[in-house]
Structure 1
Amino acid sequence: MIQPITVNDQQIYTDFDQLGARAEVAFQEVRTTAYLAQRLDELGVSYQRFPQMTGLIATLNPGQPVTIGLRTDIDALKQVYQGKTQVLHSCGHNAHMAIVLAVVTYFAAHPDDLPGTLKVIFQPAEETVTGAEKVIQSGLLGPLDVLYGLHVCPDSEVGDHQAEAILPDIATRTYWVTITGKTAHAGRPWLGANVIDAFSTLNERFKQIQLATDSPYSVTTTMFQAGESSNIVPDKGTFAVDLRARTNDLMDQLQDQAFQAIRAVSTGDIQVTLDGNDLSPAAIPDDQAIATMGQAITAVLGADGLVAPVPTQGGDDFHFYAYDGLAKRSTMLGLGCGLTPGLHVPGMTFDPDYTGLSLGSKSGN
C-alpha cells in the first residue's frame, strides 16, 4: 500500500528561494548545479556531475534489482520583466527541484523505505528540449525500470489540491531553416530569385497541411528574417517553424508533409536547407506507472484530489527517456497549485503550500 512520506516544509521553502535566486538558462546552470551538489553533500548522497555540461545524477540505495528514476528540470527562461531583461523560473523549475530534494532528503534518512535503487536526474536544458537527449548520450544514467517526473500546472488545467497521474504532453518539433535565392536590383526583380516570395509560398503550403485526424495539430512559422536594403532582392533568409501534434505517430505524419512542402519550394535558384530539427516527444502512456502515480496522489490528496488528465498544448523533453527506450515505463505528475496566469509568463505565481505532494512509496515501484 502507498504510504505518504513526511518532509521538512521549511527546507523546501529554503531550497525553493535559493534556487529561484540562482535562475540560469539552458546549459548555463552553473550556480544551480553547485547548490544542488552542496545539498547532496550535506545529505551524504553520492552523485555524478556530467563531464561536459551542467546538471548531475544522484544515486541512493545502489545495487538493487529494480532501478527507479526521478527527474527534475533545472533551467530557467530569459525574459523581459518589469522593464528589464531577467532570468526567471517562470516555468516553476525551482519548485520541481525543491520537491525532488525533499524526496531525496527523506530517502537518504530512510533507505529501507526505498523499493530499489533510486536515480535522481537533475537535468539541464529542458526549455530548449535538448537536455534529456544529452543526459542519455552521456551514458551516466543507464536503464530504468520506471521513471517519474513532475510539473506544476496552470490553474486553468489542474485546480489547487488536485493532481493528474499523467501530464499528457504533445509532441513538438522546431525547424531552424535557411532559404537561399539570387540577389538582384529591386527594379529588375526578374533577374533574381526572391527568398521572401519563396518563403511566402512555403508558409502557405504549411497552412494547407491536413492530417486525417480529429486530434489538434499545428504548423506555425514563428520567426522570419531576410534582406538588409529596401532596394535589393534578398538572396538569403532564415526562419523557424513550430510543429505540434497530439501523438508521436501524428508528428511523424506532420513532419512528412512539412518536408514535402519544403521540397516543393526548393527549385531552380531557390534552395531550402534545414539547419536544426529539435524534437520533444509526446507522452507515452504506461498503465502501470499511471496507476502507481494515481495511488500516490490519492494517498496524499484523497480521492477528490486525483483528476483526469487535461489536454495540453505543451511539451517536455522528459518523454525522451521512454521514447529512446531508456525507461521501460514512465509518467509525469501534473500538480495543481493555484498557478496563475500561466507558465512562461513573467511574474506568474502559485501557492507553494500546494506543492507538497511527494512521490514516496513503501510498496514497490
Structure 2
Amino acid sequence: MDPILFIDREREHILRTYKELHLLAEPSWKEEKTSNYIKDMLEASGIRVQTFPDHYGLLAEIPGRKADVIALRADMDALVQEVDGRVQANHSCGHDAHSTMVLFTALALAKTSEQLIHTVRFIFQPAEEKAEGALKMMEAGALKNVKFLGGIHLRPKFEVPYEKASPVIIHGSTVSIKGVIKGVQAHAARPEEGNNPLEAAALLVQAIRQIRLKDEYPYSIKITELHGGEASNLIPESARFTFDLRAETNETMEKLIKQSEHTIKKVAELTETVIDFSLVEYSPAAIKNETAIKLAESAIRFVLSEDNLQPICKSPGAEDFHFYTLNNPDIAATMIGLGCDLSPGLHHPNMSFNQEALIYGTKILVKLLVERDQVQ
C-alpha cells in the first residue's frame, strides 16, 4: 500500500491516538504508560521494539536491505505546570502530537517494508523537557549507523501559519545558572556582625546585567529566581538564585557562560561571600544541514505545495534534539516546524492547535523518509 494513502485511510485512528496520548500526560522520566501505549501499537504491526531497564525510551526498527539507518525522533514527556490552580503533567508542548505523527509514520512504512533500501529507526525519547532524554538515547545506541535524522515540532501560528511548514527550526542555545550565596547570619540590629548574602545578590544581579559581548548574534541573560531570608529582623545566612542564559549560536553561548562565571567569581571576591553555582538544563543551538533541509523542503512541497513552504522558522526556545547533531556532526539532520494554528503559545497551560495538522504532518514525515531512502 502507498504509505501516503495509508495515512488518509487511518485519519480517524490518528486523531483518536493523539487524544488518548494527550490524556496519558506523564512527566520526564515517568513516561511508562505513554511508552507502553506506543510499544503495543508498534509491536501489533510487526515492528521490532527495543526497551531499556533504566528509562522508558524506545527504539523501533524496520529492517531494510542495507544496515545504514535513516531515523525519526519523537519526544514523549509532558510539562509539569499549574493548570487551573493545580500542578500537573500537561501536554502543552506538543510531544503527544509528535509521538502520534512519528508512530503512524512507522506504521505506514511497515506496510511497505519489503521496498525499503535502508533500515528505518524510530526514536521515542523521554525527558526532553529536562534536556536529558537525547543524551540518554545516544548512550543507548540510538544513533548507531544513522546517516539521516529527522524530527518535527508544532509551531505557534505567529511563527508558522496553519497549513504551512518549515524544513528547519533554528532554536537557540539555553542554560540555567543556579547558585547559592553563603554569607554570615546576624541580627538585623547588628548588621556589622554578619555578611548579608542578599546585598551580594543585589550586586550580582546588577553586575550580570552589565555583561556585554562583542558578538553579532543575539543573546540574553536575566535573573529568574532569587530567594533568601525568612524573618524581617534577621540577616540570612544564604540566598539562592537562578539566571537564564540564551544565545542564538553555540559559540555565543560559550562566551556568555564564560563571562557570567567570571562575573560571579568577581562578585564573590568583592563581597567576601562564597558563591557555589552550577550550569543546569543546557540545550545546544540548532546546526543547519543543507542536505537534510533540501529533503524536508521536497517533502513539504509534495504534501502541501510550494506556496505553503516557509523557508525557515526561528525560535527563541530550546530543543534537546540538537544534542544529536552537536555530538554527531556527520549526521544530516533537521527538525521540521509544523504550522497548526497553535495558540496562545507553546508551554501555555491552555495551548491548543488544529488537529488536522497531524494528518499532513504525518504525510510530510512519510514522504521525507521515502525520499531519503532512495538516496544511496
Post-superposition offset of 1:327: 6.0
Partner of 1:36: 38
- Name structure 1 gaps, 5 residues minimum: none
Letter in 1 for 2:346: L
Post-superposition offset of 1:80: 2.2
Deviates more, 1:168-177 or 1:259-268: 259-268
Post-superposition offset of 1:232: 1.6
Post-superposition offset of 1:254: 0.7
Partner of 1:245: 247
Post-superposition offset of 1:121: 0.8
- What secondary structure sits across from 1:352 in the alignment? coil
- What secondary structure sits across from 1:66 in the alignment? strand
Partner of 2:366: 360
Partner of 2:331: 328
Identity of aligned residues (%): 35
Once residues 101 and 49 of structure 1 are traced to their aligned partners in structure 2, the CA distance between those partners, rounded to angstroms, is: 16
Deviates more, 1:186-195 or 1:252-261: 186-195
Partner of 2:110: 108
Deviates more, 1:112-121 or 1:67-76: 112-121
Question: Any conservation in 1 of the 2:183–2:236 contact (CA below 8 Å)?
Answer: yes
Question: Any conservation in 2 of the 1:182–1:269 contact (CA below 8 Å)?
Answer: no
Matched, 1:138 2:140: yes
Letter in 1 for 2:295: T
Post-superposition offset of 1:215: 2.7
Post-superposition offset of 1:113: 4.2
Partner of 1:64: 66
Deviates more, 1:248-257 or 1:200-209: 200-209
Deviates more, 1:138-147 or 1:47-56: 138-147
Deviates more, 1:189-198 or 1:315-324: 189-198
Partner of 2:161: 159
Matched, 1:310 2:274: no
Post-superposition offset of 1:262: 1.0
Question: Any conservation in 2 of the 1:144–1:326 contact (CA below 8 Å)?
Answer: no
Specify which of 349, 353, 359 is matched with residue 352 of structure 2: 349
Question: Any conservation in 2 of the 1:107–1:113 contact (CA below 8 Å)?
Answer: no
Partner of 1:298: 301
Query: How many positions carry a matched residue from both structures?
Result: 363
Once residues 308 and 141 of structure 1 are traced to their aligned partners in structure 2, the CA distance between those partners, rounded to angstroms, is: 27
Matches within 5 A, 1:184-199: 184-199=186-201
Matches within 5 A, 1:118-137: 118-137=120-139
Q: Deviations over 1:100-123 (max 9, x none)?
A: 111010111111343411111111
Post-superposition offset of 1:18: 1.0
Once residues 268 and 335 of structure 2 are traced to their aligned partners in structure 1, the CA distance between those partners, rounded to angstroms, is: 41
Runs of 4+ aligned structure 1 residues displaced above 6 Å come to: none
Once residues 171 and 264 of structure 1 are traced to their aligned partners in structure 2, the CA distance between those partners, rounded to angstroms, is: 25
- What secondary structure sits across from 2:158 in the alignment? coil
Once residues 327 and 317 of structure 1 are traced to their aligned partners in structure 2, the CA distance between those partners, rounded to angstroms, is: 18
Deviates more, 1:291-300 or 1:136-145: 136-145
Specify which of 201, 205, 208 is matched with residue 207 of structure 2: 205
Question: Any conservation in 1 of the 2:67–2:145 contact (CA below 8 Å)?
Answer: no
Question: Any conservation in 1 of the 2:47–2:110 contact (CA below 8 Å)?
Answer: yes
Post-superposition offset of 1:264: 0.5
Matched, 1:272 2:275: yes
Question: Any conservation in 2 of the 1:57–1:141 contact (CA below 8 Å)?
Answer: no
- What secondary structure sits across from 1:260 in the alignment? helix
Once residues 9 and 272 of structure 1 are traced to their aligned partners in structure 2, the CA distance between those partners, rounded to angstroms, is: 56
Once residues 71 and 285 of structure 1 are traced to their aligned partners in structure 2, the CA distance between those partners, rounded to angstroms, is: 17
* Superposition CA RMSD, Å: 1.8
User: Going by fraction, where is helix more abundant, 1 or 2?
Assistant: 2
Specify which of 13, 22, 26 is matched with residue 24 of structure 1: 26
Post-superposition offset of 1:286: 0.3
Letter in 1 for 2:206: E
Q: Deviations over 1:261-295 (max 9, x none)?
A: 11101226411112442210000000000000010
- Name structure 2 gaps, 5 residues minimum: none
Letter in 1 for 2:335: M
